[in-house]
Amino acid sequence: MTVLAPFADVEAKLATDTMRLLANAVATIDGSEFPVMFDAAYQSVIEVDSVYPVASALDTDIEAAAVVENSILTIQKPTATVGTQYRVRRLEPDGNGMTLMRLAVEEA
C-alpha cells in the first residue's frame, strides 16, 4: 500500500471483486476474452430517444486486450448461443480501476 494513496490498493481489490461478482457477459477481441457488466440499449420506436449499449470492464482487462476507440468486439451473454459485435465508440475510465465502454452495434 502506498503512503500517498492509501486507498489505491483497496479500490483495485474492490473493482476486481465487483467484476467477479457482477459480470453478466464475456467480451472477446482478437482472441482475448474478459468479463464485462453489459447493459443493452433502450431504443424508442423512431430511435430518437436511443441510448447506446454500454459495458464496464477492469482497466487491466481493457489494457491487456488492447481495446481502443473504434475497436470491434463481441459480447456474449451466458444465455446466448452467439455473441453480438459492437464498435467501441468511447472509453471512459472511472479512475477507480474500471472503464465504461460506450458501444454501437456493428452492422454486418
Distance (Å, whole) CA 78 – CA 101: 20
The helix (run of H) or strand (run of E) holding residue 46 is: none
Place 3 in a pLDDT band, splitting at 50, 70 and 90. low
Place 47 in a pLDDT band, splitting at 50, 70 and 90. low
- CATH number for domain 8-105, candidates 1.10.1740, 1.10.3470, 2.30.29, 2.40.10: 2.40.10
pLDDT at 50: 56
How do the domains of the chain map onto residue ranges?
8-105
* Percent of the chain surpassing pLDDT 90: 63
pLDDT tens for residues 10-30?
A: 888 888 899 999 999 999 999
